Structure 1
Amino acid sequence: MFVYLVLILKRGGLGLKMWILAAVLTMLCLGTNNLILKATSGKGLSKIHMQFYFYLTAFLLTLGYGLVQGFEMFTLLTFVLGSLVGILNANANIQMTKAFEKGPASITAPLISTNTVIPVLSAALLFHEHITLIQWIGIIVMLASGAVIQYVPGKNGRDIEIDYKPWMLHVLIAFFSLGILGVLMKTSTHLQLDTVNMLISMYGGGALYLLINSFITKENWLPTELKIGAFMGCINLVGYISYFFALNTGFASIVFPIVSLSALVVVIGSCWLYKERLKVYQIIGIFTALLGIVLTKI
């Protein structure tokens, strides 16, 4: 079924305007995965095991797609870059889950999403891409919004429970992991490396990294971890296939802002499911951070 969906999307058999729906589907898939990470935090489930099943499922599905469509020549560079992307992504997801346990997801997710500052700046410095005035405004808005969102007043004025220091540490690690990941993804695009081979290397390298970590942590394996991890792997891969389809057939200046709003899924879902309460200035900070993300993509 998955391969059938991919083949239809690749051939453009669902209509000329499907790239818009594909971008929305990507946004929903990535946001849903992050919301699942929030929902499973503090439930006694191993973050490493869930991520391992996540990567293993996506690896097998991607490998199956490659076997159907055929492979381009694998190179050492593709394997190294893809594996690094997988490891960084796995680490970012684990750190994000830990951050969810220390603070509200409605603040954590938008704050981590501002990592787009790193690949935008690297595009100008390393790849000599032009950054427009609007994008610079977006970068400044995101940095200012990040400062507003993470600010928590003294105990007498505190409505949101945040274990501040460990929460901020996990947020920063996830922020830089995803930011560097974006730089590596841009590098792979610049070098015109095959996308399918990159995904296979990414999911395969990430799964191996997580398996090694599982031997180190020696946590108990639970059946629930397999079910949730496999489900997330399917969602993630469908999201990325839709992402590539949208970028290949639509306008990137519209696709990127749509996909970047995945953090909004976590914000709305967290407030709805967990009744998280935010101060007015934090609500403004969240929406201006999302605005900054959109501006950097225009």
Structure 2
Amino acid sequence: MELIIVTGMSGAGKSVAVNALEDLGYYCVDNLPPKFLLPFARLTLQTEGKEDRLALVVDARSKDLFTEFEREINMLDEQDIRYKLLFLDASDETLLNRYKETRRKHPLMDHRITSLEEAIDIERKSFEGIRSRADYIIDTTFLATAKLKKEVNNLFAYEVNQTMQIKTVSFGYKYGIPNDADLVFDLRYLPNPFYVPELRNKTGEDDDVFEYVMATELAETLFTKLMDLIEYLIPLYMEEGKSQLVVAYGCTGGKHRSVSFARRTAQHLKNKNYNVVTQHRDIERK
């Protein structure tokens, strides 16, 4: 049985993620109280004709979430029931805007917690332990619905060879560092194609921009040293049991230098038969 536990910040996109998992053939149960995690998993394992792909959503709508969730996760580990924990996250500002747009009430708001800002802060602090145990973290701050579905598909479409997924991300520092990044490399000291008129409106996906970024000895030396580091770290992360490694490259706007390095890194690692996906977070920003 493939068991995925979906959780994360309220408003971060869990419903979209579950819909994507359902499309992949997972049997999905939404808003499951934490105390039912172990019994539900056991029942599914023991039932003849059982669903072999199961996704369970546990979040702040369950009032006993924070007191019982970690305990139930520990019990799954003790029973040797294998699972993947998917955590959906987004910046506080993004969550605030989403709630204001939908006019929905945050599940933690009651007669004691009347402020949306306070509810989000309490939820984030309460989730720290669970988030640190997640196999996969998806930061939806800048992800449209279609892109979030694609992220989920990349992660769980047949669990490619059951190997650790390496995700190369490009981003612009002016829009913030990705929350889910494990390794972050700053490329702002490399020559910037933005100041070349014929390249300004292109991106690192275009070959002439890519070649411009990679043409200098500085870029070539940097890439070689970074690959030495990343390839050294990959087996260590795998040995630790990590399911996803996010390697993020940042430049000023997230269109030229970072895209070029993320693109080249992905191709380099694919040539070595690693399971690699790429996300250019800010490439479409104006």
Q: Same fold (TM over 0.5)?
A: no
> Normalized against structure 2, the TM-score is what?
0.23
Higher fraction of strand: 2
TM-score normalised per structure 1: 0.22
Which has the larger Rg? 2
Query: Which is helix-richer, 1 or 2?
Result: 1
